[in-house]
Chains A and B, each alone.
Chain A
Amino acid sequence: MSAVVGLREFLVLSAVLFALGLYGALSKKSAIMILMAIELMTNAVNIALIAMSRFLTPGLMTGQFFAAFIMVVSTAEIGLGLALVLALYRRTRTVEVDRIDRLKG
């Protein structure tokens, strides 16, 4: 048993976080909770990218840059998502996705 933390450990962490986020995104009712779960998945991807970049192509930094871009884009996404949630809440007083579905018409 080696004490060194290697690529495998990071990828396992990433996979576990991704699975947790996946479970949250599929099971939660509130739009806010789904947003948070998706953020968790995004960060799992970032961990995987940075770990692979560090261990597989250490000189290139490709993964690090990819992760930096993902962080910027996901900030923009959250801004838009919260704006939509607020706009909907003002009209319907709910942020629950399955209740929104019933608002046909």
Chain B
Amino acid sequence: MYLNAWLAWSPEIVLTLAWAGMLVCGALWPRTHPYMRHATLAALLIALGLAGLVAANAHSLYGLYFSEAAKLDSVTTFGRLLFGSAGVLVVLASWDVHGEENAVEFFGLFVLSLLGEVVIVSGQNLLMLFLGIELLALPTYALIAIHKTRARAIAAGLKYFLLGMFASVVMLYGMALLYGSLGTISYVHALFPDPSHLSAARLGVLQFAFFFLILGLGFKVTAFPFHFWSPDVYAGGSTQVVAYISTVPKVAIMLAIFRILGPAFSTGYPIAKWFLIAIAVLSMVYGNIVALMQDDVRRMLAYSGVANTGYMLIAIIAGGADSQAALLFFLVVYTFGNLGAFFVVLGMGEDRHITIGDFDGLARRYPVLALAMGCFLFSLAGTPPLAGFFGKFALFKSAVAHGLPLLALVGLVTTVISVGYYLKIASNMYGDLVQRDLPEGRAIERIPVPLRIALVLAVTATLVTGVLGIPLFLGAL
């Protein structure tokens, strides 16, 4: 059993060792700083390989570990692989930006926060969830603040930190109440039990606690009333960090919410369920409409993230195995689409705001970059040949299958709205192929090779998920 535990958690052990090694080497030998990025990339690739090996030996390694504190199953493996691949892309995108300066801090913190995400996804009790969220969040506060030139980045980091801590404490209060009403913090068998076994008073406390818990978690996934920090923070931090915090942490916490609520939730807790439905609907409507009005592309992507949170919540509200499959698929689509879109913004220049006008005539001047951006945008929008379409289709189908046709309808209508702002960029990029006298957008410096590789990988991932989505789609018809 001991050997099994070492093998089963080898990807995390490798990452922890890499982090510790980087910290020690960086402190003792400053000359190693330029190699931190290589070390991070190597550690991530090794961890990905090990995660694959563990998944290949699922029958002997999957199960509960550490006194039922962590669970290794297909969802954990999914998380490991997705976070690892996203991590590789972010390291490639940060290759030149953090090659020398702040390399130890940047890559060390980055690895720590990836570890936090695996803790969140594999955790089986509220303590693990709390520790995972803090391990994820504390490095990201610092990552936002690390920026060569801008005081604004530190201000954004401090703002993110204060609001994030506030949300964590509110979530903790919810956890304390949950513990008080249930007598346990474990959710090995789902946290929310069948309500018919609970007294009315306990049920009341439980639903009350649920509000606090969702307030805290909703902040982290930028769901509607708790999203207000995201546009400012996204506009303040450096682009590759923002690309990271807008995707991977959200995915991890969504998976954790799915684990926490469990099968009894969708039928037994009407008030809490309506609360979630309200959040989902408002996120979709508000996120998409406000995104339509943005000029700064990073702010637009922040609001598009709010809207996408709403879509993910649809699967969580619906519950059930088919919704889980839909959620996992959509999370992959969202991760690569969003990372890619931010990487294109990064490629267009780091030093100032990138507005929608900057995309004018991009297709003529930088056809490959424009094609990549088009691919990400249309995937995020959910246009048929690309992955996003199958993701949203699966989500809406699971909502209809679980008796929530109106929720699916709201999703559909807001998706149509969202096409508006995604298309605005696309039409700017390709507009002057039709009409010659449009103004020039901004010139782009040479895009570094690692970022190019990251873009190619993100496009490939989007296309491959799209192709993989076709059988899923046909099977559902």
Chain A residues in the interface with B (C-beta under 8 A): 11, 14, 18, 21, 25, 31, 34-35, 38, 41-42, 44-45, 48-49, 52-53, 56-57, 62-63, 65-66, 69-70, 73, 76-77, 80-81, 83-85, 87-88, 91-92, 97, 100-101, 103-105
Interface centre among B130, B141, B154, B185 (most CB of A within 10 A): B154
Does the CB pair B183–A56 fall under 8 Å? yes
The answer, among A73, A80, A81, for a CB contact under 8 Å with B131, is A73
Kindly provide the distance from the CB of B145 to the nearest chain A CB, expressed in whole angstroms. Answer: 6
Q: What is the CA–CA distance of A80 and B179 in the complex, to the nearest angstrom?
A: 29
Q: What is the CA–CA distance of A28 and B185 in the complex, to the nearest angstrom?
A: 33
B-side interface residues, number (CB < 8 Å): 33
Extra contacts besides A48-B177, A48-B180, A100-B155 (14): CB < 8 Å: A38-B162, A45-B176, A65-B127, A69-B130, A77-B138, A80-B161, A85-B158, A87-B145, A87-B154, A91-B151, A92-B151, A92-B155, A97-B162, A101-B232
Residue of B nearest to A25 (CB): B166
Q: Which residues of A contact B232 (CB under 8 A)?
A: 101
The answer, among B134, B145, B157, B173, for a CB contact under 8 Å with A77, is B134
Q: Which residues of B contact A83 (CB under 8 A)?
A: 142
Interface of chain B residues 88 through 110 with chain A (CB within 8 A) = none
Consensus secondary structure, chain A interface: helix
Kindly provide the distance from the CB of B6 to the nearest chain A CB, expressed in whole angstroms. Answer: 24
Kindly provide the distance from the CB of B261 to the nearest chain A CB, expressed in whole angstroms. Answer: 21
Count of A-B contacts with CB under 8 A?
108
Does the CB pair B165–A38 fall under 8 Å? yes
Q: Which residues of A contact B127 (CB under 8 A)?
A: 65-66, 69
Q: What is the CA–CA distance of A73 and B127 in the complex, to the nearest angstrom?
A: 11
Kindly provide the distance from the CB of B169 to the nearest chain A CB, expressed in whole angstroms. Answer: 4
Consensus secondary structure, chain B interface: helix
B273 close to A (CB within 8 Å):
no
Residue of B nearest to A70 (CB): B172
Does the CB pair B138–A70 fall under 8 Å? no
Does the CB pair A80–B142 fall under 8 Å? yes
Residue of A nearest to B126 (CB): A66
Interface centre among A42, A53, A73, A85 (most CB of B within 10 A): A73
Does the CB pair A97–B166 fall under 8 Å? no
Q: Which residues of A contact B159 (CB under 8 A)?
A: 97, 100-101
Does the CB pair A18–B173 fall under 8 Å? yes
- What are some 28 contacts across the A-B interface (CB < 8 A)? A11-B180, A14-B176, A48-B176, A48-B177, A53-B179, A57-B183, A63-B179, A66-B126, A69-B130, A70-B130, A70-B172, A73-B130, A77-B134, A77-B138, A80-B142, A81-B158, A84-B145, A84-B157, A84-B161, A88-B155, A91-B151, A100-B155, A100-B158, A101-B155, A103-B151, A103-B152, A103-B155, A105-B152
